[in-house]
Structure 1
Amino acid sequence: MKAVSSNNVTRILVVGGGYVGMYTALRLQRKLKQELRQGTVEVMVVDPDPYMTYQPFLPEAAAGSISPRHVVVPLRRVLPQCRVVIGEVTAIDHGERRATLTTLAAEETGGDAVEVPYDELVLAPGSVSRTLPVPGLAEVGIGFKTVEEAIGLRNHVLGQLDIASSTRDPAVRDAALTFVFVGGGYAGVEALAELEDMARYAARYYHNIKPEDMKWILVEATDRILPEVGPEMGRYAVRELRARNIDVRMETRLESCEKRVAVLSDGSRFPTRTLVWTAGVKPHPVLAATKLPLAAHGRLQCTPALRVDGVEHAWSAGDAAAVPDLTAEPAEPGGPRPVCAPNAQHALRQAKVLAENIASAVRGGPVTDYRHKYVGSVASLGLHKGVAHLYGRKVKGYPAWFMHRAYHLSRVPTFNRKARVLAEWTLAGLFKREIVSLGSLENPRAEFELAAGTGRHNEAS
């Protein structure tokens, strides 16, 4: 059915500027170039941030291998034909084709939320960190999903080395040099491996810290890590991490982290000033506020054509969508097909099909189903180390690490970003690592506030 809009303008609202949102809007620019130029189609992208974060590069950004600004892609630069709104969609009335959103200006001035009409809706808000009611987690836990968290974690780790180097209290030193990561998926393993690499290198510049003084602990609730690369490569990853004196504890849970003491389900207790939580994600809460059909785990129930099941003019893909995997057989004869895994590989390819289907639907044409056989996974275990399981072949060590970099370099958007990342990798191979903590970036006004406060005190005196 062809979309109908008032004023002869078809409005496409894209909720989210991540993988799916940005790539869908980018392709719509190309597929609907004539309509956008004539003003008969309008594409609006709404996201809380003015950039898309390429999350596979977060571990390398945290370790200093890539500059933070090269991990993000500015939405306004790559989407010049779209209207980019910095804000957050809080409610959607699809029956009336209206979305309620809070813009950045409204947040700053205390203004009211605004309603935005649309004709075609693309729900791609991504996911948020999935937390558990662990005592103390909200107070001391550190996430690893945004570039701000990645750089904050880098500054924090280097700051702990400074604390350990300058204290005479053995308890404070031990806690500062103990780093606990919860979650054995991509984010947890790659973040731990890259940061351990960086901290071990940085230790050479501290006269009283040796690499063996640090404790790195990975806590995983299941019996394996990196399940995406298969059991054999997962076991290899465990051996590699343990060979670096990283304490990998599987079938273990975090019971508490109150008073900066990580208490594990096996009875272990680790005083620590660093607890990184990467134990999974969950769909964005806005999905529950749409009244659209949800599948298991809170994702939108979608058809293979990436439409929301049973709903006209509503589309979704990526982390927010439960899309049937047409390349997989049902677990039971006659049963439902498995759904596509919520990972970047599917998200990038779904966005392409999604944009083509929306463009075709706007013009009154047919849509096609999404079909992609999962080719495998790659994971980094630090500099020059990695694991991969691609097309049924298992690769480890330097070749896997090289494949990891090559794959993600090919996927990061824009030639500008590709060139800059490649240049940084090349320079990193020629020169030493830059080891510096810029913790003041997290509170840039602290120095001025202190000076202003001191000045007022002096005047009063």
Structure 2
Amino acid sequence: MGSESELVRGDPGQANGVESDRLEPQKGMNTVTRPRILVVGAGFAGVECVQRLERKLAPDEADVTLVTPFAYQLYLPLLPQVASGVLTPQSIAISLRRSRKYRTRILPGGAIGVDLKAKVCVVRTITDKIVNEHYDYIVLAPGSVTRTFDIPGLTDNAFGMKTLAEAAYIRDHVISQLDLADASDDPAERAARLQFVVVGGGYAGTETAACLQRLTHAAVQRYPRLDPGLIKWHLIDIAPRLMPELGEKLGRSAQEILKRRGVDVSLGVSIDKAGPEEVTFTDGRVVPTHTLIWTAGVVASPLIGTLGAETVKGRLAVTAEMCLPGHDGVFALGDSAAVPDLAKGQEGAVCPPTAQHAMRQGRKVADNVMAALRGQPLQPYKHKDLGLVVDLGGKDAVSKPLGVELRGLPAQAVARGYHWSALRTNVAKTRVMTNWLLNAVAGDDFVRTGFQARKPATLKDFEFTDTYLTPEQVRARVAGEALDQP
């Protein structure tokens, strides 16, 4: 693997990989010998930023720390293919510990609060210990969480599609519904277990419904007691069109593909109530089901709310250089930042929360952090969108690269080619390509691992949105630390 596509592992000089062995600064003083750069989040934005800092910083120019609960970068666009079993989980979980440089310290935990005035980030480690991490420069790339609404039963009964664990769990769950339906002699239970509801007509929801429908369609052939006609997939969205960013023609093409496969697409509809064994739509329909997958958009990480800074629709308001106004050394990007979209030339336009923008913003932020470190001028972020790709599984896809509308195999080639080229390491590329080829030749597997079968897996269980501190709690904790110092 080339050094350009590698990240780094924790500094062996760090005690337990969590506490820093450097001297902690006294209040109002900086006693360390090198500036401290803290990067929060190991998504597309955070990883690209750290990679560039690794390559461009002189060895003694700064210390770099990456805060992340998992020592891998998740290639999120391919998550539906993990849920459907086309790809293995390991193939899109790209390790951050494959470097030979050992420069960046990985702090295993999640940032739960930031005190901008004291320049302290509060981190809950994976052992639930809370530590204060001091910084001179901070890059906020905590990403986003699933957007939910105050719908009765939603967070208790719906599954999400935002983490690797959720995708793996959903695969087991869907296959288990076939097993349980096959074992049941109750026609009503059998019918309920073979109905599946996906909420969200964006890329995640459409690809999830498409990929999992293919899985169940292939799997049911191995269940001679089950009537394939009983399997019903519902894709619903409150918007009038699927994936409106693709344009009316391609959105309609995707909808026709799904309908041809037997997926019931309902637009202008949402969920009114979610129960453990049925879902009520806003148009009054009641669907008996044990599977509700919620993919109705994302919102910025709750970490942004701990800063007490200005936001735009929940995303941190930053300049075109991705700096937080009024706070030196604070940068924000990716899904959690409202970065002005200069390429559109429209007042108030911000970059959409896509991997394409996050990766390029990560590199630009790294350049601006180094420029600030060296007393040089910062440069604005500007990037023209290259287009969108949607993989519907098999030979079906719709894509719009550089404004050119494609369908079928050409669109599939573009979609998979783009995802393959965007993977960060050669190891990941090899694994993904091997999985694709094996699936194309040998077909799907229908193994239910059962690893997580007895663990909770609904929306409220995976994203830990209740672990963040309030701004007042952050300030109180930092103030308490200062009082404890001699």
TM-score exceeds 0.5: yes
Partner of 2:94: 73
Judge conservation of contact 2:276–2:290 (CA < 8 Å) in 1: no
Identity %: 37
* 1:133-160 residue CA offsets vs partner (Å, 9 max, x unmatched): 1111122100000111001001000000
User: Does the 8 Å CA contact 1:293/1:308 hold for their aligned counterparts?
Assistant: no
CA–CA distance in structure 1, aligned partners of residues 229 and 411 of structure 2: 27
2:135 alignment counterpart? 118
Q: Deviations over 1:421-449 (max 9, x none)?
A: 112212222223221111234449xxxxx
Aligned 1:171-320 pairs, distance under 5 A? 171-294=188-311, 296-320=312-336
Change (3 A) 1:76 1:5: farther
Counterpart of 1:122 in structure 2: which amino acid? V
> Residues of 2 paired with 1:248 and 1:432: CA distance?
26
Shift of 1:66: 1.0
2:66 is equivalent to residue 45 of structure 1: yes
Q: 8 Å contact 1:222–1:251 — kept in the other structure?
A: yes
TM-score normalised by the chain length of structure 1: 0.89
Gaps of 5+ in 2: 1-28, 456-486
Give the direction of change, closer, same or farther, for the CA distance of 1:259–1:419 in structure 2 (3 Å limit): closer
Question: Could you tell which deviates more after superposition, 4-13 or 89-98?
Answer: 4-13
Structure 2 partner of 1:410: 421
**4+ residue stretches of structure 1 with deviation over 6 A?**
none
Match of 1:84 in 2: 106
Range moving further from structure 2, 217-226 or 133-142: 133-142
Secondary structure of the corresponding residue to residue 439 of structure 1:
coil
1:319-378 deviation per Cα after TM superposition (whole angstroms, max 9, x unaligned):
011011111132xxxxx3301111111111111111111122212222211111112101
Seen in structure 2, the aligned counterparts of structure 1 residues 25 and 289 have a Cα distance that, compared at 3 Å, is same
| d(CA) in 2 for partners of 1:432, 1:383 | 10
Deviation at 1:312, TM superposition (A): 1.4
**Structure 2 residue 339 is matched with structure 1 residue 323:** yes
Amino acid at match of 1:168: D
Specify the alignment match of 1:59 in structure 2: 80
**Contact between 1:230 and 1:389, CA under 8 Å: does it hold in 2?**
no
1:164 aligns to what SS in structure 2?
Answer: helix
Q: Judge conservation of contact 1:255–1:264 (CA < 8 Å) in 2.
A: yes
2:34 alignment partner AA: V
Counterpart amino acid of residue 55 in structure 1: L
1:28-82 C-alpha deviation (Å, 9 max, x unpaired): 10011x23xx3x4111111122222110110111111111011111223358321
Shift of 1:5: 4.9
SS at match of 1:7: coil
Cα 1:80–1:175 shift into 2, 3 Å: farther
| Alignment-derived partner of residue 457 in structure 1 | none
Query: Where do residues 86-165 of structure 1 align in structure 2 (5 Å cutoff)?
Result: 86-105=108-127, 107=128, 111=129, 113-165=130-182
TM-score (ref. length: structure 2): 0.85
Aligned to 1:30: 55
- Hey, what's the Cα distance between the residues in 2 that align with 1:51 and 1:443? 25
Could you say what secondary structure the match of 1:266 adopts? coil
Cα distance in 2, alignment partners of residues 91 and 435 from structure 1 = 42
Amino acid at match of 2:252: R
For residues 11 and 62 of structure 1, the distance between their equivalents in structure 2, rounded to whole angstroms, comes to 39
Counterpart of 1:392 in structure 2: which amino acid?
A: G
Aligned-partner Cα distance in 2 for 1:266–1:292:
39
| Alignment partner of 2:376 out of 365, 372, 377 | 365
SS in 1 for 2:451: helix
Q: 3-state DSSP class of the match of 2:284?
A: coil
Letter in 2 for 1:383: G
Q: Which moved more, 1:434-443 or 1:303-312?
A: 434-443
Equivalent-residue separation in structure 2 for 1:171 and 1:439 (angstroms): 25
Please say if residues 341 and 351 of structure 2, whose CA atoms lie closer than 8 Å, have aligned partners that are also in contact: yes
Aligned residue in 1 for 2:185:
168
1:15 aligns with 2:15: no
Q: Distance in 2 between matches of 1:310 and 1:231?
A: 42
The AA in structure 1 aligned to 2:333 is: A
Instruction: Specify the SS of the correspondent of 1:58.
Output: helix
CA distance in 2, matches of 1:283, 1:342: 9
Judge conservation of contact 2:172–2:453 (CA < 8 Å) in 1: no
Q: Please tell me whether the aligned partners of residues 116 and 327 of structure 2 are also in contact (alpha carbons under 8 angstroms).
A: no
Between the aligned partners of 1:30 and 1:440, the Cα distance in structure 2 is 39
Counterpart of 1:164, as a letter, is A
Provide the residue aligned with 2:474 in structure 1. none
Q: Aligned residue pairs: how many?
A: 426
Give the alignment of 1:298-447 within 5 angstroms: 298-330=314-346, 336-443=347-454
CA contact (8 A) 2:323 2:331 kept: yes
CA contact (8 A) 1:376 1:391 kept: yes
Preserved CA contact (<8 Å) 1:58 1:147: yes
Letter in 1 for 2:418: Y
Gaps of at least 5 residues in structure 1 are 331-335, 445-461
Tell me which moved more, 10-19 or 355-364.
Answer: 355-364
- 2:73 partner amino acid: M
Check conservation: 1:303, 1:324, Cα contact below 8 A. yes
